[in-house]
Amino acid sequence: MPITNTTDLSALLQHMLAQCQPLYRSGKVADYIPALAQVAPQQAAVAVATLDGRLHSAGAAQQSFSLQSISKIFGLVMAMNRLGDELWQRVNMEPSGQPFNSIVQLEWEQGIPRNPVINAGAIVVADVLVSHYSASKTAFLTFLRRLTAEEAIYADQQVYLSELEHGNRNAALAYLMKSFGNIEAEVPQVLEHYFHQCATAINCEQLARSLLFLANRGVQPHSNEQVCSRRDAHRVNAILSTSGMYDQSGEFAFKVGLPAKSGVGGAIVAIVPQFGVITAWSPPLNRFGNSVVAMQLIQQLADELGLSLF
């Protein structure tokens, strides 16, 4: 790939970051979770982690933010490892074509979510974890600490409590699925896990390193651990390609051409198979819930370095 010939990637990242700064005013920090509304908007970071152990970053790359929907990747991998193909009887793998927190579609389809990276699907995944781990929140943090090779990974308690207090729509999704028999554990316990994993705090550098296994056929390079099977790594990347960017998934595939996942905390992570992972973060979001600056950074980097899969 052209990126292997780039001797000063950090300087390129710094230049791109400076170019994107006017875009801060084009978005709005998420405010439906009050704790997120308090995050200073004029911040940005980008990091690139490669399979050979290199890490390049620019901006506030060590500033922590809450994972939010990006946490769905880690929960999904844990559930796939624990439940196997049985998981796909409870959640599909199709694009939704609806907002990520749609209730109407879930009613039409009798409690089976379209995919595991919309809220309803991630709540089913949380139910799997609660039902199959004696301490699911601890298990999730342990998994993430292992992937980042850092012990200082915790949930942000302010964000967690804020989500618990204002998570009524997610509760509605969970109770609706419970009525269809697709939630096994008690709904409050499932929601506590889901909000806790969404509130997990991480920075761009840690996040980029943590997902290298998806670029490496399921094997985490720094530990040589087989985190998931090659087939499951393929499946996760496929779902991220079709559904990982909310209602902009098609546009992102069209413009960037990489499996990706966003979160309303302002981060976007993009997987470059057989090369590495790009993470970008900036709090202001567009109307789809995707970071304006992070999308632009990843698109520019993919264009500059020829990273598209297509």
CA 239 to chain centre: 12
What HEC string does 147-196 produce?
HHCCCCCCECHHHHHHHHHCCHHHHHHHHHHHHCCCCCCCHHHHHHHHHH
**Active-site residue among 210, 246, 256, 277?**
246
Three-state SS for 146?
helix
Active site residue 194: yes
Catalytic residue among 48, 64, 72, 256: 72
Cα distances from 310 to residues 241, 256, 299, 304, in angstroms, run: 12, 9, 14, 15
> In the annotation, is 154 catalytic?
no
133 given a catalytic annotation: no
Active-site residue, selected from the candidate residues 64, 66, 69, 282: 69
Residue 146 neighbours by CB distance under 10 Å: 16
Task: Judge whether 256 counts as a catalytic residue.
Answer: no
The one catalytic residue among 48, 128, 264, 269: 264
Q: Quick one: which H or E segment has residue 254?
A: helix 249-255
* Catalytic-residue membership of 178: no
Nearest CA to 47 out of 17, 77, 7 is that of: 17
* DSSP, residue by residue, 220-247: ETTTTEE-S-HHHHHHHHHHHHHHTTGG
Structure tokens that stand for 169 in this block: 């729509």
Q: Which of 124, 194, 261, 282 is catalytic?
A: 194
Owner of token pair 């796909």: 88
Output Rg (C-alpha) for the chain, integer angstroms: 18
The residues that are catalytic are 69, 72, 194, 246, 264
